[in-house]
Structure 1
């Protein structure tokens, strides 16, 4: 691949696009972004930003025709446009076939079941009312987890139903329900592949979610047994090869109280569960994704130091221009790295950035996290 002359188009102009652009800049690689507004995070460092809608067929086709390689920073893009671009010889990663499955939670679970990968028991429902009827007739048992079939991310599209009193705010639209797993830990693995078939994995991470099902922070290395770690890496390599994906695949797992692993869901792009690799690994997930989609040799995933990643979320009760309260004090803490996404408005639970906290061991890192949580808030003025 002639990286000096290849044109790479990214469908999306959010924070993931911004961080991909940063690593493309290292190689003077021209990265082009398509999204609704140049004021989005990636607008600040794109080689060229095209204003348009990645869900619109005509916008995606017009954008993609000018590119050599097309990739994504979000799954909810126009699949028909990607299929057309593939038909005229454009390189698309992830391929449309994999993306069709991954965008639909039901098709994801069907895929795992068909390939004998561990996934919770699940059912599909056409509507909220169909699910409600099934529960009330005792055909579907509680507790359960309801997931919308599409458009879910960052905690959206997921509803935990523990008892009948939780039925008043079931999610609308086509959905699946899964048997609620007795979760001991939530884990994730970032795995990468190129077209030559080289596959590498990063160290598994251990995730902690808030009450809104948004990732609050993660730790790496995950505190799991050698056998569990080996199983995580084995599943990750198998899944990316089955999907035939080039670039990154983030895979979320449940570890239950019986020490059984379950595949939860995947994302075929850089992911929140891999942000720490910027400071914690030899090769960041963003550089790795570019290597994968361009069929370059994949980078070294060796961990340089233990780390945690904290999501910077907008505080409850604040909307408007963000003010980063306490950021000067955070900057004083050694081996703590602040990443602000540049979103012009904050609102409750919106991802405004992340902080990577590194140290010699978990106890040192946890002390830094406690300090940061006390002094740092995203509010508005």
Structure 2
């Protein structure tokens, strides 16, 4: 379905429906300052597009009962969240309810052609379950800077071969539907706003700590991307001038101190230097260490693992404290693969933020873990494309 609302009134009505479910015309009129006759005309035109459908009779208000309307339950959207080491794909309704969800390992360093072959295979598997014959639109998140108007990644540090690859154009042709592309952490923030812990907050930060570190900024209920789409790149804020080298080419970036890769690097170095705790046992069992191993070791009381979490979380807290003074959000949500560190991570971040920020900025500031986990990205991706489809043609 390629229909789009014809004007701003129709777009506004469409955006009201996902939040409130089926609505009568009278209920819509109560929430939207539009004359009854004009509202009736716009709803009838939306019904003709197929974007909305009648849904049972509305409660009587003392006259002829009208039908409720709702977003067409037959609409299907694909949300794709591509990370550095794994990808999630989900099919949702127009109301962003997930009907099917797949996750599989990938290596983003293999380049866009190889990664998209796997993404298209996941989409085909989801269609094969019978939940979707085709897609009315797709949203895609990638772990690097995206020139948002064009749907093109630009010089992504951890994604060799992706620079200026026409992601939106290529996937739109392969999926035969409209496609929107954004940085993955922006979509995680949108997902958390729609269905997670930030659903009642209009101004918040979503800090993703995984293979890389990024920040989704929601201001006034809308994602803030900056002029070129590079807002939120906090992983490349320098925290130590003489620190370890970063994939961006500089030294001492936050990401070089406390990403999943940095945690694994420092854990391996500690074992090589003679540490003989839980980390050494896990390395002996699997010949490698990951951020998940550090989380498990910290939970088991491994002193080095606990110190790695404390030091890394402290660095993250210092950067977030700076953002408090600049942006003054109502909430900070922590997500990404390193959230397996759980409340030990929050215990390292929170004191730095509260100690280094003005009391006015942090007096009632919640710093919390994501509620949605891996679903935040796919829900946000579906939200991205539905917002586009429900905008005026």
Query: Shorter chain as normaliser: what TM range?
Result: under 0.3
TM norm structure 1:
0.26
More strand by share: 1
Structure with bigger RCO (C-alpha 8 Å, 6+ apart): 2
TM norm structure 2:
0.25
Larger radius of gyration between Structure 1 and Structure 2:
2
